[in-house]
């Protein structure tokens, strides 16, 4: 190793030290507030099922219903490709992977709903439903899903912390978490959803609630995290003109895992007529853009909402609903909203078709660009480290959901999962 060449400088060591001291608080804030993505799997969707309807075989039921819809309305790759506008080369692997997914893991994230989908009930009825939900989730966490099918992520959506239903929501949360602990502990994929959040103080209250539960049950601080549903205008823009959602992330004290856009409540709060409430309405695009910027770099993820157009009825009606859903999911993916809601088993085929087509279409290009970057081989696109991280993240997401296989990616890039995670900065 050669001797370091001496060059002339002006700044003294004391100057650099003073600058370092002056920026120490900023360094600490950046490290705390913007840790980046933690590298864990993000589900491609969330399925909401009312607490009085959910059963041990719900996940298998949804998968079977989705397969029945495929058998009836798109029994092979060419027919699905014709409905969705996929080329034959793409339709075949997408169709095969969709069917395999519906057999293996039809639902990635199941939310047992005690809010809008469940409605007001007597206290005794909701108490019993919360205890029953804990038993079902405990069984799922232990691989006890009917037919051997259990979602990797599962939890409840409680009632919100507004005054009218606050005590009921807290009690349901308590019964559910207590039941899980008494049944053996919290499952690894536990997800809690806090709906209709308008003020950061409500997020802070939720963080305090789960923190108190952790202390009472001897859990590691921070073990319980939750999602915030963005369903009110106050959650996006405060009365003082500032982005409220950014303050909510801080108020969660590291416990907020994701922000979920509530399509219909939010659109209604903006005065959008029922016929025009949709994921691609301008008010939806604005809200999600604010959410996305507020969450960027924090490790908090963003989930899009849902469509209420169900694929039911005649073949032409089902195909039209499938095309709509497919297009909306693809639109969300292109805007980096990698998760959404599905409201009906018939949405599963087009959820996975859209997700798989998105990753398989871009596999060759992303892999070639990443290979050129890693090996400094040049090419027709000059990528920077930030883009290389995005390329790696794209490939990892495709692997997580089953769109592509690790062997395919390794053959194209020379990188296995560990290598991809290294480039992605995880």
Q: What is the pLDDT of residues 341-354, one digit of tens each?
A: 999 999 999 999 99
Sheet holding 45-50, edge to edge: 301-303, 256-261, 226-230, 190-194, 153-157, 109-113, 45-50, 340-342
Please report which residue ranges of 160-243 form alpha helices under DSSP H.
166-182, 200-217
Q: What is the pLDDT of residues 70-79, one digit of tens each?
A: 999 999 999 9
- 381 falls in which pLDDT band (50, 70, 90)? low
- Bridge partners (DSSP) of residue 46 are 341
- 376 falls in which pLDDT band (50, 70, 90)? confident
Rounded to the nearest 5°, which phi and psi values hold at 152?
Answer: -65, -20
pLDDT exceeds 90 at position 379:
no
Q: What is the pLDDT of residues 401-417, one digit of tens each?
A: 999 999 999 999 999 99
Q: What is the pLDDT of residues 290-342, one digit of tens each?
A: 999 999 999 999 999 999 999 999 999 999 999 999 999 999 999 999 999 99
E-assigned strand segments in 263-357? 301-303, 340-342
219-224 long-range Cβ contacts below 8 angstroms, 24+ apart: 219/186, 222/254, 222/255, 223/186, 224/177, 224/186, 224/190, 224/192, 224/255
Q: What is the DSSP letter of 237?
A: B
Q: What is the DSSP letter of 152?
A: S
Rounded to the nearest 5°, which phi and psi values hold at 381?
Answer: -130, 130
Q: What is the DSSP letter of 86?
A: -
Element (H, E) at 396: helix 385-401
Could you give the CA distance from residue 396 to residue 384 in angstroms, rounded to a whole number? Answer: 18
Could you give the CA distance from residue 181 to residue 117 in angstroms, rounded to a whole number? Answer: 26
Residues 134-160: b if buried by 16+ CB within 10 A, e if exposed = bebbbbbbeeebeeebbbbbbbbbbbb
List domains and CATH numbers for the chain. Answer: 45-361 (3.20.20.360), 364-424 (no CATH)
Could you give the CA distance from residue 151 to residue 108 in angstroms, rounded to a whole number? Answer: 5
pTM for the structure as a whole: 0.92
pLDDT exceeds 90 at position 5:
no
pLDDT exceeds 80 at position 44:
yes
Q: What is the pLDDT of residues 100-152, one digit of tens each?
A: 999 999 999 999 999 999 999 999 999 999 999 999 999 986 555 556 678 99
Q: Summarize the confidence of residues 27-45 as an average pLDDT.
A: 93
**The pLDDT of residue 6:** 86
Q: What percent of the chain has pLDDT over 90?
A: 86
Residues 369-395: b if buried by 16+ CB within 10 A, e if exposed = bbbbbbeeeeeeeeeeeeebbbbbbbb
**The pLDDT of residue 2:** 59
Q: What is the pLDDT of residues 252-268, one digit of tens each?
A: 999 999 999 999 999 99
Which of 66, 49, 57, 110 lies closest to 325, judged by CA?
66
pLDDT exceeds 80 at position 1:
no
Please measure the distance between the N-terminal and C-terminal CA atoms of the chain and give it in whole angstroms.
Answer: 32
**The pLDDT of residue 146:** 59
Q: Quick check: 82 and 125 in contact, CB under 8 A?
A: no
Instruction: State the chain's maximal CA–CA distance in angstroms.
Output: 80
Q: Quick check: 333 and 326 in contact, CB under 8 A?
A: no
* Lowest model confidence (mean pLDDT) among 104-118, 226-240, 373-387: 373-387
Please report which residue ranges of 24-122 form alpha helices under DSSP H.
24-33, 58-73, 77-84, 88-104
């Amino acid at each position: 190793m050669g001797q370091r060449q001496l060059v002339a400088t002006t700044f003294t060591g004391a100057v650099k030290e003073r600058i370092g001291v002056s920026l120490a608080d900023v360094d600490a804030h950046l490290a705390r507030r913007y840790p980046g993505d933690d590298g864990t799997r993000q589900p491609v969707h969330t399925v909401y099922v009312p607490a009085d309807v959910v059963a041990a075989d719900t996940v298998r039921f949804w998968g079977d219903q989705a397969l029945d819809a495929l058998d009836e309305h798109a029994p092979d790759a060419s027919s699905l490709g014709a409905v969705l506008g996929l080329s034959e080369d793409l339709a075949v692997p997408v169709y095969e992977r969709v069917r395999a997914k519906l057999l293996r893991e039809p639902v990635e994230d199941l939310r047992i709903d005690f809010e809008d989908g469940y409605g007001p009930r007597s206290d005794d009825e909701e108490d019993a439903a919360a205890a029953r939900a804990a038993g079902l989730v405990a069984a799922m966490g232990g691989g006890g899903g009917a037919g051997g099918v259990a979602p990797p992520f599962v939890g409840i959506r409680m009632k919100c912390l507004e005054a009218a239903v606050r005590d009921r929501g807290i009690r349901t949360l308590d019964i559910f978490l207590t039941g899980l602990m008494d049944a053996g502990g919290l499952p690894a994929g536990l997800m809690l959803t806090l709906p209709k959040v308008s003020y950061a103080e409500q997020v802070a209250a939720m963080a305090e609630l789960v923190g108190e539960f952790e202390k009472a049950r001897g859990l590691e601080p921070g073990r319980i995290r939750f999602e915030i549903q963005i369903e009110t205008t106050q959650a996006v823009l405060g009365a003082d003109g500032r982005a409220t959602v950014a303050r909510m992330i801080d108020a969660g004290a590291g416990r907020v895992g994701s922000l979920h856009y509530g399509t219909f409540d939010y659109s209604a709060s903006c005065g959008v007529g029922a016929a025009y409430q949709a994921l691609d309405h301008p008010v939806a695009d604005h809200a999600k853009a604010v959410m996305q910027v507020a969450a960027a770099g924090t490790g908090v993820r963003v989930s899009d909402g849902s469509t209420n157009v169900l694929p039911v009825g005649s073949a032409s009606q089902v195909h039209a609903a499938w095309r709509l859903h497919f297009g909306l999911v693809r639109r969300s993916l292109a805007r980096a909203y990698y998760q959404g809601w599905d409201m009906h088993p018939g949405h599963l085929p087009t959820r996975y078709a859209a997700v798989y087509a998105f990753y398989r279409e871009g596999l060759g290009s992303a892999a070639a660009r990443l290979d050129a970057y890693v090996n400094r081989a040049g090419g027709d696109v000059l990528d920077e480290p930030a883009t290389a991280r995005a390329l790696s993240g794209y490939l990892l997401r495709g692997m997580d959901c089953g769109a592509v296989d690790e062997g395919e990616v390794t053959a194209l890039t020379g990188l296995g999962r560990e290598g991809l995670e290294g480039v992605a900065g995880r």
